[in-house]
Amino acid sequence: MERRTFLTTALVGTAALALGVNLYIPEHIKVNKALDSEHRLLFSILLPVFLDDALPEVGSLRIAAQNRTLDTIIQTISLLPADGQAELEQLLDMLENRLGLLVLTGSMTPLMMRKPDELIVMLEYWRNSFLDMMVIAYQGLRELVLASYYSCPEHWSRLNYAKPTFLEE
């Protein structure tokens, strides 16, 4: 076998393998895009990481707070300017795509299969990255999640914030 044939075969084989890995989605993590058009699954994975100590300890209250925050995130996204929505949608699509994950995180492992510690390391890397794009992605996701969580009046007590009395009239 000639050297050129060997290198070409190895390159084509690697590309085919990468394409197959990108297209293959195991049954246990398959997401119905029609039901997850608002990226709720992705945000449900990121919420506990961003809101580590802010979420209630009791399981049912914790789930209720997460669901309420997911609803608020969707409302918050709808209020963003069109170009901001497009950039955020592009980021969320990349986080749900394996090749996008490879570019953004250096790993093709879906976020839902990662442990919370791995997600924290990933987000800390983004936060301290030398690339402005990664820092902006981190800040955008963090601010979206935190603003959506604390926009709910039932979460204001954790901040020791009370609604001004002149607004109640």
pLDDT value, residue 52: 82
pLDDT value, residue 61: 86
The answer as to whether 97 is a domain residue is yes
Residues 6+ apart with CB under 8 A from 81: none
The answer as to whether 68 is a domain residue is yes
Query: What is the spatial distance between Cα 77 and Cα 63, in angstroms, rounded to a whole number?
Result: 21
Q: How many domains does the chain have?
A: 1
The answer as to whether 160 is a domain residue is no
The answer as to whether 23 is a domain residue is no
3 state SS of 39: coil
Q: Contact at 8 Å (CB) between 66 and 102?
A: no
Query: What is the spatial distance between Cα 91 and Cα 140, in angstroms, rounded to a whole number?
Result: 10
- pTM equals 0.74
Half-sphere exposure of 95 (CA within 13 A, CB side): 24
DSSP code string of 51-106: TTTTS-SSHHHHHHHHHHHHHHHHHHHHHS-HHHHHHHHHHHHHHHSHHHHHHHHS
The answer as to whether 165 is a domain residue is no
The answer as to whether 102 is a domain residue is yes
The answer as to whether 10 is a domain residue is no
The answer as to whether 161 is a domain residue is no
Identify the domain containing residue 132 by its residue range.
39-154
What is the residue-level pLDDT of the chain in tens, covering all 169 positions? 888 999 999 999 888 877 777 666 666 556 566 656 678 888 988 998 998 888 888 888 888 888 899 989 999 999 999 999 999 999 998 888 888 888 888 888 888 888 989 999 999 999 999 999 999 999 999 999 999 998 888 888 877 887 777 766 6
* Residue of 116, 89, 94, 117 whose CA lies nearest to 105: 94
**Per the structure block, which two tokens stand in for 147?**
């603003």
